[in-house]
Every structure is written in structure tokens, then in C-alpha cells.
Amino acid sequence: MAASSYTRHDPSATALHGLVRRHLATFLQVAAERSGRPLPRYVAEEFRAYLGCGMLAHGFARARCAGCGHDLLVAFSCKLRGVCPSCGGRRMSATAAHQTDRVLPEVPLRQWVLSVPFALRQVLARDPEALTLVSRTFWEELRRWLREASHLAPGDDEAVEAGAITQVQRFGGSLNLNVHFHVVVADGVWRCPMDGRSPHFVATPPPTRDDLAAVVSKVVRRLARAFERKGMVDGGEGSEGDRGDALAGCFRAALARGTYGAAGDGGSVAPEDEGAERRFGRRPPKAQVAELEGFNLHASVVIGARDAVGRERLLRYVARPAVVNDRVTELPDGRVAYRLKQSGGRGETHRIMEPMEFMARLAALVPPPRHPLVRYHGVFAPNSPWRGAVIPAAPSPREPTCAAAGAPADGAEKTSPVAALPAPQERGGAAVDEVCTVPAEATKPTRPATRIDWATLLRRVWNVDALKCPHCEGAMKFIATITDRAVIVRILEHLRLPTDEVAAAPARRWDDTS
């Protein structure tokens, strides 16, 4: 084998990976014993897939430089949406890049954020129908306000339509279950002629507090009637949220306030930190905000029409992952500290948890399957007759698509420039053992429009060419995917790298793990 390099990002070295590896089996056992039923299979599979994400022993792709023969090994990734910070960061960057390049035109954008009452969060976390109901109701009332604010009336020869992207977030800044909606809205409407002419954008004035109050009051009234028809009282009692299974227990743990403190660099915990305010700062007051019956709506963030960098940063922010490696710390006594984005009122800088509470909070943040987190509305919707005339044109294959190179938004996982690749396809639950040739040029015509390849995304976000040969600076190309266990072991032994597949530690009695 020629001289080789390999992925330098080692997930097993992070505190998060170590905690999941040591406590996963124990957590699954404890959750099943306390509720009488195990956690849903998708939650357990999410954790197990995370343990193998980015690990060469679980398979990798092989790239080679045609000039000097140098090889590069890149580990597969789990590609999941909940626990893994690395895959969450990649999904964040790819989603924001696609929306910037191929969805949002050069018009002013405003972020509207709708938070729901505490009692409703568990329902929305579990019930896709209820989540869709809230999302659709909010969008319909927001669209109605935009049309009224534009003072344009639709007619027989012209329609008035708005456009938005909703990103559903299931989490708050401290591993708490907080289902809420970030809606990036074009700050205006389009006049859409019925005769085939191009739509024309008309900006609307910024909303006032009274406007926000009117929108949220209509949303609350409509949802109250809808929940009453569905047999829900106060958005939660007597509904899906009251199930007594293991996942409901995780939801309750993730909704609990828990314990806060200040964790120092050495792992010490103090009740408060005098320098917390200087470190975290204070949030500026929001100029446009309205609250009613536990619903909160604000719309203070605006991005200019020509601000491509600001647009992509905003889109990264709303699509950011739930967990950040750098904010997880294991304390000397075995407890877990998770650093807050903003200090508490008494200077608390960290949420302090027992390992089982930490695992329960992670489990609650895993989205269920077939539970879409990104939704397109109005002229941006896939079935809109005006979408093709509004969204940006597809770039030429020779044109670069980088619009906002720089550091990821706050909350993004900061991985090595050599990140993980997608895992191989599975058939009947077993990985396909094959070595296939995958020239980069051959994959471009068949790649979906929303897919941005690994190397291009790294150049866009970090301005790093991961496929540039470190020896001769030539271009490296992927030549094979290695999934056969015997081949994996032989290559890794040649490179003197670990060959053992990563698995969760055996379950222990919870009294023995504290």
C-alpha cells in the first residue's frame, strides 16, 4: 500500500462519545426496567450508529492521488439527525448552502420564531400530526398578515403569495426539550400574474408589537379549537404525551428544570460564577415580541437582500445541531456538565446532570423517523406554480457555489477538515460488502440537487481543500469504498491503527455506575 493519511478527527476522544459508550447499555436497561417497555428502536439505533460514526474500523472510503500514489482514508458517518454533533454540523451546513444557492432569492428576509407552551412541547415532540398542525396554522396566519400588510388584493388575473422556510428545532440551549419553530420569511409578498409573466416582489413594512400580538392571538384561538376537536386539553393532558413508556420518561426528564451550577476548567462546580456575565454577556432586549397563553413570538432578526453571508449564517443557525461536543464535560465525580449559551440569573454557566439524566435528555432530542424538520411554504414550496420563476437559477457546473465561507454558526460541530463520509447502503439490515469505483465526475450528473459533496462543502465552510494531496498538491479522487471486514482489518493493521469496532460497554446496575 502506498503512503497513506487518514481522518484526523477522532470522535472516541470526545467526552460525549465516551459517556455514550460507557452508559448506553445501562441506560437502555434502566429505561426498560422503570417503564416496563424498552425505548423505541430508532432511539437505540441512533446511539449505536453514533458510536461507529467516523471510526475507520467500521469502514471507510479510499481516495488516491494519481500523481504520487498517496492514499487518503475517510471514515463513514452515521448521517443521523439527533445525537451526533459531526453529522448534525454537516447537515446544517449542507441545508443552509442549498437554501442559499437554490431556494432563497435576493430579497429581504426576516426570522419569525414561535415558541409553544410548556405543556404542548411533549405532544409536538412525539406526534407528527400535532407538529404539522401547529406549523401549518402559524404559516397560514403569517401569510395572511403579510398579504394584509402589502395592501395588495388578489384578483382574477393576479395572485398575491408569500414564501418561507420553517426549521423545526426540538431543543433549547441546555439539552432541554423545547420544540419551537424558526421560520425564515421573505419580508414581503410576490405579485404573481396568471398569464405566465414573472412574479414581482413587493416589500412589506416591518411588523409592530401589535402586529405580532394579532398574529399570535389568531394562532392560539385556532389551535385551541383544533386541540379540542382532537380531544386534547391544554395541548397535552389525555394525549400522546401522557404515555407511560420509556420515551415518555425521557421527555419528562428533558422538560425538568434540573440542576445548574458553574463548572471550572478543572471540573470543579461552584454555585455561581462572578465572571459569567462578562463571559456570556447579556441578551439584548427584543424590539418585536408578543406573548399570549404561553406562546411567544418574536421577529427581530432581519437580513438584507444583498447580504449573502448573513443569509447563510442565519440559515446555519436555524438548522444547527442539538448537541455540541465542546460544551460537554465529565466532572471528577462522574456527573456531566453541559455549558449554557447564556448564563443564568445567578451566574450559572452549566447544567449539571447524572449520567442517566444526560442520556435521557439526549434520547428525548432524537427526532422520530418520517418526522420532517424542514418545511417549505408559499412560492418556495415544491408544488408552487411560481417556484421556478422565483428561486435562483441553477449554477453552471464550472461556477463555484461558495457564497459564505467562514466559521459555522454558533452551535455547529467544529470537526477536522477531513470529516466523515456517508455510510454504505444497506440491504436487509446488512451492509453491502463490495469495493466499487466512484469517480467524482461520474457522480455529478446523478447527484440530487440538494446534495453537496463532501469536499465542496468543506471548501465552502472552512476554505480547506480536503482532496488536495499533502505531498504533491495534486487532486485526489475516491477510488473505492471498503466495507469488507477482512480488508478493513488488513489495511488498518498495516497502518498500525485500531481495528476493533466500537461498541457500547456492558450494562451495569445503576447503583454501581453512580
**How many C-beta atoms surround the C-beta of residue 252 within 10 A?**
14
Rounding to the nearest 10 degrees, give the CA dihedral for residues 214, 217, 221, 227.
Answer: 130
Q: Would you state the pLDDT for residue 513?
A: 46
- C-alpha distances in Å from residue 57, one per residue of 88, 192, 480, 495: 21, 55, 16, 12
Radius of gyration of the chain (CA): 24
- The backbone region for 293, taken as left when phi is positive above 0, alpha when psi lies in -120 to 50, beta otherwise, is left
Domain co-membership, 47 together with 119? no
3-state secondary structure of 339: strand
* Residue 303 lies inside a defined structural domain of this protein: yes
DSSP 8-state secondary structure symbol assigned to residue 273: -
Q: How far apart are CA 333 and CA 283, in angstroms?
A: 32
The DSSP element (H or E) to which 19 belongs, if any, is helix 15-35
Q: How far apart are CA 386 and CA 406, in angstroms?
A: 33
Q: Please give the order of strands across the beta sheet that includes 158-161.
A: 158-161, 188-193, 200-203
Domain co-membership, 169 together with 200? yes
* Residue 353 lies inside a defined structural domain of this protein: no
* Residue 339 lies inside a defined structural domain of this protein: no
Domain co-membership, 69 together with 121? no
Q: Would you state the pLDDT for residue 6?
A: 60
3-state secondary structure of 280: helix
Domain co-membership, 287 together with 149? yes
Mean pLDDT, contiguous 10-residue spans, the chain (514 residues): 58 88 95 91 95 92 90 90 92 94 95 95 92 96 96 84 96 94 97 88 94 96 90 49 78 92 63 42 63 94 94 95 93 93 77 95 93 94 93 65 44 41 37 33 45 83 86 90 94 90 86 52
Domain co-membership, 161 together with 292? yes
Domain co-membership, 416 together with 504? yes
Q: Would you state the pLDDT for residue 449?
A: 57
Q: Would you state the pLDDT for residue 437?
A: 33
The domain of 54 spans 4-83+403-513
Domain co-membership, 435 together with 496? yes
* Residue 258 lies inside a defined structural domain of this protein: no
Domain co-membership, 160 together with 308? yes
Q: How far apart are CA 230 and CA 263, in angstroms?
A: 45
Q: Would you state the pLDDT for residue 3?
A: 59
* Residue 349 lies inside a defined structural domain of this protein: no
* Residue 466 lies inside a defined structural domain of this protein: yes
Q: Would you state the pLDDT for residue 265?
A: 54
Domain count, the chain: 2
Domain co-membership, 107 together with 206? yes
Domain co-membership, 448 together with 495? yes
Domain co-membership, 113 together with 207? yes
Domain co-membership, 75 together with 97? no
* Residue 354 lies inside a defined structural domain of this protein: no
* Residue 332 lies inside a defined structural domain of this protein: no
